[in-house]
């Protein structure tokens, strides 16, 4: 999809979805140079966002409560092992191994997260402990074949998208919506 089509869709619908925003960022990052039409479309989009003609749909925030529970268990077990031996364990590997064998427990509110925690503590604590135990056993058994392996790195923010965002933030405070007629 082109920037022009994305902007046209956003203007038609009145909103810019996270997927549309990501696509604009991808196009801007991969293009060595934007055309005049693309710059004009981006300008229209920025203007529409500033006036409220188009609203950016926020990303829904959510967490997987199981990650918290597994990490808590794994940290306690790893600390016990490392304090009584000369073994060094990779907490990330242990948590990932255990999490891949446990059900996710997603929540979008604090109330939902508390419900998931309580439910998991009552019904899944033994399973969590067992999966962490298996992950540690596997980690202790694993030879160090790949000492130079690279951990997952966060991607840097999209340059052009970051610039557009900074521009909007710089100019948003100067914008005053038109007074509604009375």
pLDDT value of residue 101: 97
**pLDDT tens for each residue of 47-93:** 888 888 888 887 768 889 999 999 999 999 999 999 999 888 888 99
State the Cα–Cα distance between residues 158 and 162, nearest whole angstrom. Answer: 6
Judged by DSSP in three states, 120 sits in helix
- Tell me the mean pLDDT in the region 30-42: 85
**pLDDT tens for each residue of 100-129:** 999 999 998 889 999 999 999 999 999 999
pLDDT band at 182 (very low <50, low <70, confident <90, very high): very low
pLDDT value of residue 181: 47
Average pLDDT over all residues of the chain = 83
DSSP states of 55-122 as a string?
Answer: EEPPPPP-EEHHHHHHHHHHHHHHHHHHHHSS----HHHHHHHHHTTS---EESSHHHHHHHHHHHHH
Greater confidence (150 vs 20) lies with 20
pLDDT value of residue 125: 96
State the Cα–Cα distance between residues 116 and 66, nearest whole angstrom. Answer: 8
State the Cα–Cα distance between residues 107 and 61, nearest whole angstrom. Answer: 9
Q: Is the pTM of this model over 0.85?
A: no
> 3-17, 26-40, 107-121, 168-182: lowest mean pLDDT where?
168-182
**pLDDT tens for each residue of 136-180:** 999 988 766 566 666 666 555 555 666 666 656 555 554 445 444
pLDDT value of residue 141: 86
């Amino acid at each position: 999809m082109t920037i022009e089509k994305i902007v046209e869709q956003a203007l038609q619908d009145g909103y810019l979805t996270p997927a549309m925003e990501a696509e604009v960022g991808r196009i801007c990052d991969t293009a060595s140079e934007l055309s005049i039409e693309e710059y004009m479309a981006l300008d229209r989009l920025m203007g529409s966002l500033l006036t409220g003609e188009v609203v950016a749909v926020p990303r829904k925030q959510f967490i997987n409560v199981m990650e918290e529970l597994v990490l808590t268990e794994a940290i306690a077990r790893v600390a016990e092992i490392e304090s009584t031996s000369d073994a060094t364990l990779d907490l990330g590997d242990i948590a990932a191994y255990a999490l891949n064998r446990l059900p996710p427990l997603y929540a979008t509110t604090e109330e939902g997260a508390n419900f998931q925690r309580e439910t998991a503590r009552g019904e899944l604590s033994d399973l969590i402990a067992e999966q962490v135990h298996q992950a540690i056993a596997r980690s202790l058994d694993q030879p160090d074949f790949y000492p130079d392996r690279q951990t997952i790195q966060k991607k840097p923010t999209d340059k052009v998208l970051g610039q557009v965002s900074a521009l909007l933030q710089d100019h948003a405070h100067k914008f005053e919506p038109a007074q509604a007629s009375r």
